[in-house]
Structure 1
Amino acid sequence: MDDSTRDYYEQEAQRFFDATVNIDPTPILTPLAEALLPGARILDIGCGSGRDLLWLKERGFYPHGLEPSPALAALAETHSGCPVTVGELTTTDFLDRPWDGILVSGVLVHLPHGTVPGHLLRLAGALADGGRLYVSVKEGKGEGTDADDRSFYYWQDDDFRQVAQGAGLSVLSMSRSASARGNADIWLGYLLKAEGGTS
């Protein structure tokens, strides 16, 4: 994540929280929830408002949030009642331990395409036996910036599947959906497992 994108989430933490906290994550999170047993430990990387943490907690899971913005991390922890650690995918040591589930929703969109294979490889290695990974990316080509000066990197389905396979991940299911925030974005969501893991 570049500095301007990181600065946005810190400086506009309350605005981002207000815009996202009340969006129902059920369509996004149900595939992951249905693939895990009650009591599963889930790492939510880039947990934002804490909306998904709360949803998962209310369904009997034990989620832990990871959020680069200290301001957003504080809001997420208060909202969800779950532990939230300040940190990010690219540097965290949380992936040095096994997780039953890992949620990476709307995070890889901020990372250059060339770095994603390495991150997926590390995420695959952090899945416990039978663990599941959920990843969402924006559909499109190339890269760009939005009105808030955030950088975005877009994906085509075939390209993402190829990168995931190269990282030792199998696609269990995939969804394509319009943004719940009412803009023109299309999101691709993938439920993945480490190849060779239990089905």
Structure 2
Amino acid sequence: MDSIDYYDRYAVPYYEETVDFCMEEQIERFVELLPESADVLDLGCGSGRDTVFLEEEGCVVTAMDGSEKMCELASIHTGKEVLHLRAEDMEFDDVFHGIWACAILGHFPPDEVKEIMRKILKALKDDGILYFSVRKGERNGKYNGRYFYDYDREALNHLLDAFPNITVLDIWKTSDVRADKSDRWFNVLLRKEKQD
């Protein structure tokens, strides 16, 4: 069972567990870097929780998830069509002012995550903004049906250093929004620079 299979199988409990989480601080920091009425991709939108908040902040959001069942639930929650597409299969080119990728990249092993990052950066317009979060820790493997790769600061820097066309705007740590979890997260904001 890969991670998408997990989300298809456990879509309803996952939706119920995550739909009311508050990512307000991170979203506001992301949105203030975007132009007015920015086109934003909510990559791996899950319940659609962040899509709703981004739209309330004035963004025009494309919600996307690799799990068909999560797309169905997110569509009900957001009142809009949700694109059923895996991150590794997307082929956007210069489309979005911003991409919101909350807790997505940690589902890809180190030998695959750079290709996902390339696709994300290709989807961004020049001067576009990417927010992503990865769990701080030491996991590398399957846990309860999902693959996780956690990061320390060295591994995070190694990933970011592979992309010369970005400027890292901020990296900060936050605690998990789930009261029963003690996880810590790296939050990253970066800008895609114009190519010469």
TM-score (norm 2): 0.92
User: Aligned with 2:28: secondary structure?
Assistant: helix
Q: 1:37 Cα shift?
A: 1.9
Contact 1:133 1:191 in 2 (8 A): yes
| Inter-partner Cα distance in structure 2 for 1:27 and 1:53 | 15
Aligned to 1:24: 22
Does 2:113 align with 1:125? no
Residues 107-138 of structure 1: per-residue CA shift (max 9 Å, x gap) = 11110111112221222222112210011111
User: Aligned with 1:90: secondary structure?
Assistant: helix
Q: 1:97 Cα shift?
A: 4.0
Letter of the 1:156 partner, please give it: D
Aligned to 1:96: 93
Letter of the 2:54 partner, please give it: L
Letter of the 1:47 partner, please give it: C
Once structures 1 and 2 are overlaid, which stretch shifts more, 188-197 or 111-120?
188-197
Contact 1:142 1:153 in 2 (8 A): yes
User: Aligned with 1:102: secondary structure?
Assistant: strand
| Inter-partner Cα distance in structure 2 for 1:145 and 1:115 | 15
| Inter-partner Cα distance in structure 2 for 1:188 and 1:83 | 30
Where does 1:168-183 land on structure 2 (aligned, <5 Å)? 168-182=165-179, 183=181
Structure 1 residues without counterparts, runs of 5 or longer: none
| Inter-partner Cα distance in structure 2 for 1:109 and 1:157 | 14
Letter of the 1:7 partner, please give it: D
Q: 1:27 Cα shift?
A: 1.8
> Post-superposition, which runs of at least 4 consecutive aligned residues in structure 1 deviate over 6 A?
none
Aligned to 2:189: 191
Aligned to 1:65: 63
- Alpha carbons of 1:98 and 1:165: their partners in 2 closer, same or farther (altered >3 Å)? farther
Residues 19-47 of structure 1: per-residue CA shift (max 9 Å, x gap) = 00001110221211110122100001100
Does 2:160 align with 1:164? yes
* CA RMSD, 1 decimal: 1.6
Residues 62-90 of structure 1: per-residue CA shift (max 9 Å, x gap) = 01111111111011111112331101110
| Inter-partner Cα distance in structure 1 for 2:110 and 2:67 | 22
| Inter-partner Cα distance in structure 2 for 1:140 and 1:27 | 22
| Inter-partner Cα distance in structure 2 for 1:49 and 1:175 | 24
Matched residue count: 193
Contact 1:36 1:132 in 2 (8 A): yes
Once structures 1 and 2 are overlaid, which stretch shifts more, 135-144 or 69-78?
135-144
| Inter-partner Cα distance in structure 2 for 1:151 and 1:166 | 23
Q: 1:142 Cα shift?
A: 4.8
| Inter-partner Cα distance in structure 1 for 2:78 and 2:116 | 26
Letter of the 1:59 partner, please give it: E
TM-score (norm 1): 0.90
Does 2:103 align with 1:106? yes
